[in-house]
Amino acid sequence: MALIKSIRGFTPQFGKDCYLADNATIIGDVVMGHQCSVWFNAVVRGDVHRIRIGNKVNIQDGAVIHCTYQTAPTTIGNNVSIAHKAIVHGCTIADNVLIGMNAIVMDNAQIGSNSIIAAGAVVLENTVVEPGSVWAGIPARKVKDISQELTHDLLERISNNYVKYSGWYRDENQG
């Protein structure tokens, strides 16, 4: 069973049909929407500020979601995929975004809708990623625009897949 821990008077809250892997950790001031998933070894740590997560968000294996004490909360929109070992820290991520494997998004960055942050990218503090763009590198820079339709379709597919994968684990554990 996932570690769900209250701290400083805050207890994580979850929407309907969420999946939390056995060794996922969710702490403190975290509010998660419907059909979300937090996978193996992922940490969502709302101990020093609030974390708000929309619907159909998947936080994959080893990812870390955190914030900065009293200055930088974390907000994640709908249909967002946070890939394996990514770090999302004190930033705002709009709807329909992919944060690639091992990517880092730092304090006060704003990631626009229908955007992709490439694997291994480092989005520095206060960076504004405009909607419909792909960013890569260290530090991350815009590499191209991408159609909102293409990005939306891709990210909707990934979000739906993770809802399906979550069902496999729930079904297996009920049998």
The total of other beta-carbon atoms located within 10 Å of residue 29's CB is 22
**Average pLDDT for 140-150:** 92
Alpha-carbon torsion angle 143, 145, 150, 152, nearest 10: 90
What tens digit of pLDDT does each residue of 160-172 get? 999 999 999 987 7
Dist. CA 53–CA 169, nearest whole Å: 21
pTM (2 decimals)? 0.96
Q: In the structure, what pLDDT confidence band is assigned to residue 151 with cuts at 50, 70 and 90?
A: confident
What tens digit of pLDDT does each residue of 70-111 get? 999 999 999 999 999 999 999 999 999 999 999 999 999 999
Six-digit token pair at 8? 């400083």
In the predicted model, is pLDDT for residue 29 greater than 90? yes
- State the average pLDDT for the chain: 95
Q: In the structure, what pLDDT confidence band is assigned to residue 4 with cuts at 50, 70 and 90?
A: very high
List C-alpha distances in Å: 170 to 22, 83, 165: 11, 21, 9
| Closest by Cα among 70, 65, 86 to 12 | 65
Domain CATH number, residue 17:
2.160.10.10
List the domain range (segments joined by +) for residue 128.
3-174
Q: In the structure, what pLDDT confidence band is assigned to residue 174 with cuts at 50, 70 and 90?
A: low
Give the number of domains in the chain. 1
Give percent above pLDDT 90 in the chain.
90
Q: What angle do CA 16, 93, 141 make, to 5 degrees?
A: 150
Residue 129: beta bridge partners?
A: 111
What tens digit of pLDDT does each residue of 134-144 get? 999 999 999 99
